[in-house]
């Protein structure tokens, strides 16, 4: 009953992401079971074996490709604002006049933090690459690492994100690196030269480039002091675990006033 109450009180967006996390955990378990009982399922990860016949990995490939296509298009899907704030339709200009110098300094500051995240992640991937080169990590192990990152991605959104220690962002909605998820997730596949792996990595790089180029062209869309849609008061996603304590008193007062 306790967990049912928690699930019922979630926002629609948070509930949707919680279900996605559960689905990703199931995928991880399926992957582990195939590793133990039928390792031949992972032959699709080698060379051009992608075109030899359908497997459960093809279904997973399709899910990932669709996820990245959605990131690359300005569509009004059930996607968090943190991921879609790069698009004009998600921009809500602040009426107050904001100094361009202040905006520039903010973007420089968060981009400097993002660079530290990038360097740390590259160091991690370099270690994985060394393990792969030494034969310690097989193609299957690299792929399972990607699925593990797939699960951890939503753990960062829903439970706790270690990158906030570096980024200092309030929540996912204002996160500078929100759409780095696929690039970070698929980076271990760099060491598995195959159509399956490199097609996913290539699309993730494209999604990352669109995000980064948009920050350069439209930085005002990525700061809550220039984009009103990113403020707590305007939040519709409520993915943040802190939003209830922040907004519930004001909302209760507004209801009582009616």
Q: What is the pLDDT along the chain (258 residues), one digit of tens a residue?
A: 544 545 556 788 889 999 999 999 999 999 999 999 999 999 999 999 999 988 999 999 999 999 999 998 888 767 899 999 999 999 999 888 888 899 999 999 999 999 999 999 999 999 999 999 999 999 999 999 999 999 999 999 999 899 999 998 888 899 999 999 999 999 999 999 999 999 999 999 999 999 999 999 999 999 999 999 999 888 888 887 654 454 444 444 444 444
Whose CA is closest to 186, among 175, 165, 168, 200?
200
User: What torsion, rounded to 10 degrees, do the Cα atoms 86, 92, 96, 99 define?
Assistant: 10
Burial 8-39 (b: 16+ CB within 10 A, else e): eebbebbebbbeebeebeebbeebeebbeeee
What 8-state DSSP symbol labels residue 199? H
By the 8 A CB rule, do 250 and 24 touch? no
What 8-state DSSP symbol labels residue 10? S
By the 8 A CB rule, do 236 and 82 touch? no
Could you tell me the pTM of the whole model? 0.89
Q: Given the structure tokens 């361009």, which residue do they identify?
A: 100
């Amino acid at each position: 009953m306790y967990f049912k109450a928690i699930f019922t009180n979630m926002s629609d967006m948070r509930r949707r992401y919680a279900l996605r996390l559960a689905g990703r955990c199931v995928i991880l378990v399926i992957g582990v079971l195939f590793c133990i009982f039928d390792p031949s399922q992972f032959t699709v990860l080698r060379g051009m074996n992608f075109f030899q016949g359908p497997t459960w990995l093809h279904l997973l490939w399709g899910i990932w490709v669709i996820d990245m296509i959605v990131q690359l298009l300005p569509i009004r899907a059930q996607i968090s604002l943190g991921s879609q704030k790069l698009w004009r339709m998600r921009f809500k200009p602040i009426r107050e006049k904001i100094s361009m110098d202040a905006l520039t300094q903010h973007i420089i500051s968060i981009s400097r933090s993002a660079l530290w995240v990038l360097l740390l992640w590259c160091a991690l991937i370099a270690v994985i690459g060394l393990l792969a080169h030494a034969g310690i990590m097989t193609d299957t192990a690299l792929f399972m690492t990607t699925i593990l990152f797939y699960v951890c991605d939503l753990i960062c959104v829903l439970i706790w994100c270690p990158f906030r220690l570096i980024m200092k962002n309030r929540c996912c909605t204002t996160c500078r690196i929100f759409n780095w998820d696929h690039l970070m997730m698929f980076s271990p596949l760099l060491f598995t030269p195959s159509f399956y792996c490199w097609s996913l990595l290539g699309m993730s790089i494209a999604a990352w480039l669109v995000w980064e180029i948009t920050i350069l062209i439209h930085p005002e869309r990525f700061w809550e002091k220039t984009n009103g849609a990113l403020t707590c008061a305007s939040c519709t996603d409520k993915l943040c675990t802190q939003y209830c304590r922040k907004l519930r008193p004001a909302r209760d007062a507004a209801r009582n006033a009616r």
